[in-house]
Amino acid sequence: MSKFLKFIVHFVVICTILCVVALAVPPFFGVTTEIRDDSTVKSNLAMGSVTYAIPVKTEEAALGTPILVNDENAVYRYTLASADVANGTGTAMDPTVSQGQPINVAIGSYLPKIVVTIPFIGYLMAATKSIEGLIVLGLTVLFLIILYDKMLLHSFISLMSWSISCSVMSAVSEKRIREVPSGTVGGRTGNA
């Protein structure tokens, strides 16, 4: 049972560390991190997903490149259909609509090119925005501490049990040696 608990604890701790790093570190390296954690905001990004985009020069962006477009407090994933750098305008298509119309977008010298979208990580951020979510996160941490303590307690009990067993065996052996009268061989006197 101890190996199973150890696996669960380590798996959850490693996943948590990876999720926190995935949310916190990329902005320090110039990567746009769009976290979809509010279901009331309109967007074609999946709820709970995190989308990473890097800035690329508009001239180097190929047609069909997935880009992030900010539109009135909402962020959308579109594919670049055309770009006119001189006028600062372009068109993009919504990949979720099969026969959609091109959408006019404002284009600067750089475009946020989507690199990857990771689902479900954004729910961590959504959980921190409500009391219920904070309670669930707190209970999860408490559960991990209890599992970790149980795992350590089991190891500690095993270590103490082994130590006591060794001490008792050593004491019994030492007592047997002390009980043998001097001048005897194997506990017998010379008289048979």
Q: CA–CA separation, 188 vs 78, rounded Å? A: 96
Query: Is the pLDDT score of 190 beyond 60?
Result: no
Q: Which residues, at least 6 apart from 134, have a Cβ–Cβ distance to it below 8 Å?
A: 127, 128
137 phi, psi to nearest 5 deg: -65, -40
Would you call 104 helix, strand, or coil by DSSP? strand
CA 42 to chain centre: 26
What is the tens place of the pLDDT at every residue in 166-179?
766 776 666 666 56
- CB-based contact 112:55 (threshold 8 Å): yes
3-state helix, strand, coil in the chain (%, to 5): 45, 25, 30
CA 191 to chain centre: 77
Q: pTM of the predicted model, to two decimals?
A: 0.70
What is the tens place of the pLDDT at every residue in 151-168?
666 676 677 677 777 766
Mean pLDDT estimate for the chain: 82
Q: CA–CA separation, 18 vs 50, rounded Å? A: 13
Q: CA–CA separation, 173 vs 170, rounded Å? A: 5
Q: Side chain identity at 172, as an amino acid letter?
A: V
Window from 5-19, 94-108, 144-158, 175-189 with minimum mean pLDDT: 175-189
